[in-house]
């Protein structure tokens, strides 16, 4: 199985990519994701056990526009309960792993993270779907998510939506401060943020997900990789390369956001939700977040700012660096213990069918995985990020693909957060990561 994002990486100068290239590159760059999960502890959320009387339990995280609940309610072929999972992907993973380990037959259908399939597949927790989801049907989906749901020649998930880290910026505030273009580099971002904060008195220059959890890993890796560093070798996940000047430089830039007063100190505790609140309140110039955030801008109950005030582009890079937004995304998995896998699959098929994916894209602004929808004019209009940030999708980088990723993630969560908080210097963190990740990889 491929261990990297396909190797096709573009410099930021590249523009005007046609549709075919876009889809091909998306596929290439999305390649290789497979497994892993995120360990952590505990895990709240989740509802009752359910599963009796022909009712299907569909377990996934909250969706903020209500579109998902509507789609579940409209399912024509049975009674489905949307069982709310924790927002935190690590907690959700732990909760599911416990339930699977206990042999529970429910939830029958899981909407789960792109970093889970191989780990759950290797443990025998989720069912191979080859009979339900043959290759001719898989061809309707972007190549990358299909690969990411494949493990040892079998397909374990139906791609639902694609995520990549993006930079949202306040067009109006940048214009007022005399900036006609959003930043291309982290330095430019800092300069622009500083000027807007001074001129307009905006409270925060930049917010992101700096907490000690999986989202923090996604953010930290973006700084490291846009500085030319990494934690594992692009082509060999068992080769740890964390202790490099480039990796340390990436973490130094990460820390500088807080140190230089661009980001508030509290960003060290921010997940998607806190960062989103800081941006939607109108108090923030820039935010790093996933595509879903765009959908909330058009809801006056959620957002004080309007879509017209916001632009979305790929995340900045270091001087001369390459784009490297972290790849995310969610998929439909079927519990290997489900009593009626066919009924479970039917629901997964429904949510990922063209009509429902389109409604999800239009209503909740999630990026669809069916290629026909990526070029659908209505979807493109609802999701301007498909055009304005197309390069971010082309160059998205998966997290390390390893059966021990969950342990690796814990190490990164701790070190990235400690650097951001100013608790340890970047070069100490890279040394620790090298040692700890090496230990994990060797102990497999
Ligand atoms: C998003 C991504 C997912 C990632 C998570 C981190 O949900 O799709 O891949 O693990 O954010 O918070």
Same domain, 252 and 345: no
Cis omega (within 30 of 0) on the bond before 94?
Answer: no
Nearest residue to 100 (alpha-carbon basis) of 129, 78, 122, 132:
122
Q: Which domain holds residue 234?
A: 166-325+404-443
- Alpha carbon distance 347, 79 (integer Å): 10
Structure tokens at 201: 């008195």
Same domain, 252 and 113: no
Task: Give the mean model confidence (pLDDT) for residues 299-325.
Answer: 96
Strand arrangement of the beta sheet that strand 166-170 belongs to: 204-207, 284-289, 166-170, 310-314
pLDDT at 46: 34
Q: Distance of CA 76 to CAs 266, 306, 355, Å?
A: 45, 35, 13
pLDDT at 220: 98
- Give the best-scoring range by mean pLDDT among 121-125, 151-155, 186-190: 186-190
Q: Which atom of ligand 1 is nearest to the CA of 113?
A: 9
Asked if residues 165 and 288 have their Cβ atoms less than 8 Å apart, the reply is yes
Q: What is the CATH number of the domain that holds 188?
A: 3.40.190.10
289 belongs to a structural domain: yes
What CA dihedral angle connects 261, 264, 267 and 273, to 10 degrees?
Answer: -140
Q: Whose CA is nearest to atom 1 of ligand 1?
A: 328
Q: Kindly report, residue by residue over 349-402, the tens digit of the pLDDT.
A: 999 999 999 999 999 999 999 999 999 999 999 999 999 999 999 899 988 877
pLDDT at 256 over 70: yes
Same domain, 220 and 280: yes
Q: Distance of CA 392 to CAs 1, 91, 112, 162, 210, Å?
A: 23, 27, 22, 12, 20
Q: Which atom of ligand 1 is nearest to the CA of 163?
A: 8
Same domain, 33 and 146: yes
Which residues approach ligand 1 with their CB closer than 6 A?
Answer: 89, 113-115, 163, 214-215, 218, 272, 290, 328-330
Q: Whose CA is nearest to atom 9 of ligand 1?
A: 328
Task: Give the mean model confidence (pLDDT) for residues 306-316.
Answer: 97
Nearest residue to 165 (alpha-carbon basis) of 212, 110, 214:
214
Same domain, 317 and 332: no
pLDDT at 304 over 90: yes
pTM across the whole model = 0.85
Same domain, 249 and 370: no
Same domain, 29 and 136: yes
Q: Whose CA is nearest to atom 5 of ligand 1?
A: 215
**Number of domain units in the chain:** 2
Q: What is the CA(328)–ligand 1 centre distance, in A? A: 5
82 belongs to a structural domain: yes
Residue 409's pLDDT band (boundaries 50, 70, 90)?
Answer: very high
Nearest residue to 156 (alpha-carbon basis) of 30, 328, 341:
341
pLDDT at 40: 26
Q: Which atom of ligand 1 is nearest to the CA of 61?
A: 7
Nearest residue to 106 (alpha-carbon basis) of 90, 89, 121, 85:
85
pLDDT at 177 over 80: yes
Structure tokens at 16: 């005007």
Structure tokens at 370: 């069916």
Q: Which atom of ligand 1 is nearest to the CA of 38?
A: 10
- Alpha carbon distance 326, 254 (integer Å): 15
Cβ-based neighbours of 17, under 8 Å, separated by 6 or more: 25, 390, 391, 394
Same domain, 19 and 159: yes
Nearest residue to 411 (alpha-carbon basis) of 94, 40, 32, 93:
40
Same domain, 174 and 50: no
Q: What is the CA(138)–ligand 1 centre distance, in A? A: 23
Nearest residue to 289 (alpha-carbon basis) of 416, 170, 167:
167
pLDDT at 166: 98
Query: Of the residues 63, 215, 365, which should be mutated to test ligand 1's pocket, given the most ligand atoms within 8 Å of the CB?
Result: 215
Q: Which atom of ligand 1 is nearest to the CA of 272?
A: 12
Same domain, 136 and 27: yes
Which of helix, strand or coil describes residue 125? coil
Q: What is the CA(331)–ligand 1 centre distance, in A? A: 12
207 belongs to a structural domain: yes
369 belongs to a structural domain: yes
150 belongs to a structural domain: yes
Same domain, 63 and 202: no
pLDDT at 338: 97
Q: Which atom of ligand 1 is nearest to the CA of 217?
A: 6
Q: What is the CA(180)–ligand 1 centre distance, in A? A: 31
Asked if residues 247 and 230 have their Cβ atoms less than 8 Å apart, the reply is yes
pLDDT at 356: 98
Structure tokens at 13: 């100068």
124 belongs to a structural domain: yes
- The pairing of strands 154-155 and 150-151 is antiparallel
Q: Which atom of ligand 1 is nearest to the CA of 114?
A: 9
Q: Whose CA is nearest to atom 4 of ligand 1?
A: 328
Q: Whose CA is nearest to atom 2 of ligand 1?
A: 328
Q: Which range (9-13, 70-74, 192-196) has the least confidence?
A: 9-13
Q: Whose CA is nearest to atom 3 of ligand 1?
A: 328
399 belongs to a structural domain: no
Asked if residues 214 and 90 have their Cβ atoms less than 8 Å apart, the reply is yes
238 belongs to a structural domain: yes
Q: Kindly report, residue by residue over 17-73, the tens digit of the pLDDT.
A: 333 333 333 333 333 222 222 222 222 233 333 334 479 999 999 998 899 999 999
Same domain, 140 and 8: yes
User: Mind giving me the DSSP string for 303-358?
Assistant: -SS-GGGEEEEEPPBSTT-B--PBEEEEEEEEBTT-S-HHHHHHHHHHHTSHHHHH
Q: What is the CA(74)–ligand 1 centre distance, in A? A: 26
pLDDT at 102 over 90: yes
Residues forming a β-bridge with 237 = none
Taking all residues of the chain, what is their mean pLDDT, rounded to a whole number?
87
Q: Kindly report, residue by residue over 213-238, the tens digit of the pLDDT.
A: 999 999 999 999 999 999 999 888 89
Task: Give the mean model confidence (pLDDT) for residues 274-294.
Answer: 97
């Amino acid at each position: 199985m491929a261990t990297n994002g396909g190797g096709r990486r573009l410099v930021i100068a590249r523009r005007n990519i046609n549709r075919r290239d876009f889809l091909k590159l998306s596929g290439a760059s999305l390649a290789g994701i497979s497994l892993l999960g995120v360990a952590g502890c505990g895990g709240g959320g989740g509802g009752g056990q359910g599963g009796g009387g022909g009712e299907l339990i569909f377990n996934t995280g909250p969706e903020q526009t209500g579109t998902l609940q509507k789609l579940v309610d409209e399912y024509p072929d049975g009674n489905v309960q949307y069982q709310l999972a924790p927002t935190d992907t690590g907690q959700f993973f732990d909760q599911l792993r416990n339930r699977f380990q206990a042999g529970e037959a429910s939830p029958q259908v899981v909407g789960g993270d792109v970093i889970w399939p191989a780990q759950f597949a290797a443990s025998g927790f989720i069912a191979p779907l080859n009979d339900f989801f043959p290759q001719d049907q898989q061809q309707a989906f972007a190549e990358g998510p299909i690969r990411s749901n494949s493990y040892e020649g079998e397909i374990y998930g139906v791609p639902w939506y694609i995520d990549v880290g993006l930079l949202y910026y306040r067009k109006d505030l940048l214009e007022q401060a005399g900036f006609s273009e959003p930043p291309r580099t982290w330095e430019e971002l800092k300069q622009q943020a500083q000027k807007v904060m001074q001129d307009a008195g905006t409270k925060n220059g930049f917010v992101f997900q700096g907490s000690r959890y999986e989202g923090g890993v996604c953010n930290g890796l973006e700084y490291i990789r846009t500085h030319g560093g990494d934690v594992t070798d692009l082509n060999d996940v068992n080769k740890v390369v964390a202790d490099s000047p480039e990796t340390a430089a990436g973490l130094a830039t990460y820390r500088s956001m807080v140190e230089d007063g661009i980001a508030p100190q509290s960003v060290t505790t921010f997940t998607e939700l806190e960062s989103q609140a800081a941006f939607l309140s109108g108090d923030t110039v820039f935010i790093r977040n996933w595509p879903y955030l765009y959908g909330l801008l058009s809801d006056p109950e959620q957002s004080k700012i309007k879509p017209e005030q916001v632009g979305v582009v790929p995340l900045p890079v270091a001087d001369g660096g390459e784009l490297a937004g972290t790849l995310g995304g969610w998929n439909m998995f079927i519990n290997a213990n489900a009593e009626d896998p066919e009924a479970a699959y039917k629901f997964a098929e429904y949510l990922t069918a063209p009509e429902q994916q389109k409604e999800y894209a239009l209503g909740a602004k999630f990026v669809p995985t069916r290629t026909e929808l990526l070029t659908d004019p209505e979807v493109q209009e609802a999701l301007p990020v498909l055009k304005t940030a197309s390069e971010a999708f082309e160059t998205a980088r998966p997290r390390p693909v390893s059966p021990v990723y969950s342990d690796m993630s814990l190490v990164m969560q701790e070190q990235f957060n400690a650097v951001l908080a100013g608790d340890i210097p970047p070069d100490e963190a890279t040394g620790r990561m090298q040692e700890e990740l090496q230990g994990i990889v060797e102990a497999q």
